Amino acid sequence: MIVETHPAKPSLEASSPFEMRVHLGEDVPDTDVRSALKTGDMGFLHSFTTGSAVDGPGIRLVAWTTACMFRCQYCHNPDTWTLTNGIPVTLEQAIEEVQIYANGLRAMGGGFTLSGGEPLMQARFAARLFHAVKAMRVHTAIETNGYYGDRLTDDELRTIDLVILDMKAFTRSQHERVTGGLHNEDVLEFCNRLSQLKRPMWLRYVLVPGLTDIPEEMEAVANFGYSLGVVERVEILPFHQMGRYKWERLNLDYKVERTISPTREEVAKAIAIFRSAGLDAS
Ligand code: SF4
C-alpha cells in the first residue's frame, strides 16, 4: 500500500492532543481504509506526543488514534471520533517513531501508550504495534473504553502491560446517558476477562458535575473495580472545558457547555468513595 503524504499536512508529532485536527486522511481511498482496518498495515493517528506524565507509569510516548464509537457528552477531543480525520501512518512508520524513543523510555522507566479516540477501533493496527513495541522491551499501555476488548486475543492482551480503562458508568442506563446511547455489557465483560487473565489495570473516571457525580454510580464502579482484583489504581479526572472549542468548531451539540469543573471538595469526595471500596485512588 502506498501512502502519499500531503505537503500541507501537519507533522505527526503534536504538542498535545488538544490540537484540532480534521480531514487529514480523507484522500485515502475507501478500499485502502477497509484494507487497513482488516490487516493493520496502516493506522490513522491524530498525532504522537512525547513527554506525557499522565498516561501510564513514568514518562510516556503517546500515539493518539482516531475513531471512536462512543459520543461522551464530556469528550475533550471530538475531532478524534472520525477515523479519516487522522493522519494515515503505515505500521512501519509508527514502529520507527517508537524506536526513536525506545532507549530513553526504557532508561526513564516510562513507556509507550496507545490512546485515542478509541484505539481498538483499529484493533489490528493496535495489536501489531504493541507486538513490535514489546519486542523493543518498552513498557506498553492502552487507554481504552473497553467496548471492543473482544477484538484482541488473550495472547495479544499479554503484549499490553497495562490497560487503562476509562469507566464511564456501571449501570447500563447511566452508561447510555453518558456515551450517547451505548450499553456497557461488553465493557464489563472485558474487565472480567482482564481479571481472569490477571492483566494489570488502572481505572479512570471523569468527574462531571451534574452528569457523573452520582455517589451510587461511583460506589458501583468502585465495588466492581475492587472485585476484579487487578486494579492497581484509580484516577479521578476532574472535568474541564479545554475541548469546548472543538465542539464549537465542529458544530456539535455540546450539552455540558455550562458545566463547571468540580471543586476540590467534590473531587476529594469522589476519591473517598473509591478508597472506601479498597482501591488506591487519587
Ligand atoms: S470514549 Fe473517549 S474518545 Fe470516545 S467519545 Fe468518550 S471520551 Fe471521547
> Residue 2 above 70 pLDDT?
no
Distance 2 CA to ligand 1 centre (A): 30
DSSP per position, 114-182: EESS-GGGGHHHHHHHHHHHHHTT-EEEEEE-STTGGGS-HHHHTT-SEEEEE---SSHHHHHHHHTS-
Nearest Cα residue to 146 out of 125, 116, 174: 116
Among 44, 68, 83, 204, residue to substitute to test ligand 1 (most atoms within 8 Å of Cβ): 68
DSSP state, residue 281: B
Query: Which of 6-20, 60-74, 85-99, 159-173 is predicted with the least confidence, judged by mean pLDDT?
Result: 6-20
- Measured distance CA(141)–CA(111) in Å, rounded: 8
- Measured distance CA(152)–CA(142) in Å, rounded: 12
> Residue 3 above 60 pLDDT?
no
Give pLDDT, residue 8.
Answer: 60
pTM over 0.85: yes
Expressed in percent and rounded to 5, the helix, strand and coil fractions of the chain are 40, 20, 40
Looking at the chain, the whole-number percentage of residues with pLDDT higher than 90 is: 95
- Average pLDDT of the chain is 96
DSSP state, residue 13: B
Nearest protein Cα to ligand 1, atom 3: 117
User: How distant, in Å, are the alpha carbons of 29, 108, 126 from that of 94?
Assistant: 20, 21, 10
**Beta-strand pair 201-207/162-166:** parallel
User: Long-range contact list for 192-195, CB < 8 A, 24+ apart?
Assistant: 192/228, 193/149, 193/150, 193/157, 194/149, 194/157, 194/163, 194/165, 194/228, 194/230, 195/227, 195/228, 195/229, 195/230
Model confidence at 139, pLDDT cuts 50, 70, 90, reads very high
Among 18, 62, 69, 70, residue to substitute to test ligand 1 (most atoms within 8 Å of Cβ): 70
Phi first, then psi: give them for residue 185, nearest 5 degrees. Answer: -55, -45
- Measured distance CA(97)–CA(4) in Å, rounded: 18
What are 74-103's pLDDT values in tens digits? 999 999 999 999 999 999 999 999 999 999
DSSP state, residue 256: T
User: How distant, in Å, are the alpha carbons of 59, 89, 101, 103, 113 from that of 107?
Assistant: 10, 27, 10, 6, 16
User: How distant, in Å, are the alpha carbons of 143, 197, 219, 225 from that of 228?
Assistant: 18, 11, 14, 5
Contact 62, 16 (CB under 8 A): no
Residues with CB under 6 A from ligand 1: 68, 70-72, 75, 77, 80, 116-118, 145, 166
Summarize the confidence of residues 113-140 as an average pLDDT: 98
Taking the CA atoms of the chain, what radius of gyration do you get in angstroms? 18
The amino acid at residue 23 is H
Q: Which three cell numbers stand for residue 115?
A: 490512546
Q: Which three cell numbers stand for residue 33?
A: 481504509
> Residue 204 above 90 pLDDT?
yes
